[in-house]
Amino acid sequence: MKSILKTLSIALLMTVSSCKYYNLTGTSPIDAKTFQVNYFQNTADLVEPGIERTFTIQLQEIIQNQTNLNLVSQGGELLYEGEITEYRITPMTATADQRAAQNRLTISVLVRFSNKNKEEDDFEKRFSFYHDYPADEQMTGSRLSTALDEIFTRITQDVFNESLAKW
């Protein structure tokens, strides 16, 4: 019985002490306490109103949910800024009578990341993802909400991985 308790105690101690070097999100220790996400302007040729606000908020939320960093409105040690550069709908497949059967919404975001404490981590990179949908449906209402959620979830996770998780 004593050996089981000793083994469990050692396992618990190793688990707790190892959290200093690795955590459940896969990020290495972050040398900052604050982050700032500036408003991402929509500079795409085709503008869908409101998506810039949705993207900015989703980026803030993923960082808050997966780290212990504090969101600040100015002077953040980690700074995210950029713009939505592409919002494009293109036909993907055609029917026998040469009409579109499926469309693809593609959104691209240019992100500039700055780390005041570790400048070698700075980058400027384009992130992009897409959502396919039937051509007989319009990209409005719940279809648009579903597409934006899928696209922005992927892009914000990619931004997080590139800036903090180093995947």
SS3 107: strand
Q: Is the pLDDT of residue 8 over 60?
A: no
State the chain's maximal CA–CA distance in angstroms: 77
User: What is the distance between the alpha carbons of residues 35 and 121, in angstroms, rounded to a whole number?
Assistant: 14
Report residue 151: phi and psi, to 5°.
Answer: -65, -50
User: What is the distance between the alpha carbons of residues 59 and 37, in angstroms, rounded to a whole number?
Assistant: 8
How confident is the model over 10-69, as pLDDT tens digits?
554 444 444 433 444 455 678 899 999 999 999 999 999 999 999 999 999 999 999 999
Q: Kindly report the number of other CB atoms within 10 A of residue 167's CB atom.
A: 10
pLDDT score, position 79: 98
pLDDT, averaged across the chain: 86
Token readout for 23 is 């955590």
- Which residues are 145's β-sheet partners? none
pLDDT (mean) for 86-112? 88
Output the CA–CA distances (angstroms, integers) from residue 66 to 25, 92, 112, 128, 157, in the order listed. 6, 35, 20, 21, 10
Report residue 9: phi and psi, to 5°.
Answer: -65, -45
pLDDT score, position 64: 97
Q: Is the dihedral of CA 150, 151, 155, 158 positive or negative?
A: positive
162 vs 25 pLDDT, higher one: 162
Cβ atoms 59, 80 nearer than 8 A: yes
- The CATH number that domain 30-165 falls under is 3.30.160.150
How confident is the model over 130-143, as pLDDT tens digits?
999 998 899 999 99
| Strand 123-134 relative to strand 100-115, pairing | antiparallel
pLDDT score, position 21: 36
Confidence category of residue 72, pLDDT binned at 50, 70, 90: very high
Cβ atoms 162, 125 nearer than 8 A: yes
Cβ atoms 126, 108 nearer than 8 A: yes
Q: Is the pLDDT of residue 2 over 90?
A: no
pLDDT score, position 17: 43
Token readout for 26 is 């896969």
Q: Show me where the domains of the chain are located.
A: 30-165
Q: Is the pLDDT of residue 155 over 60?
A: yes
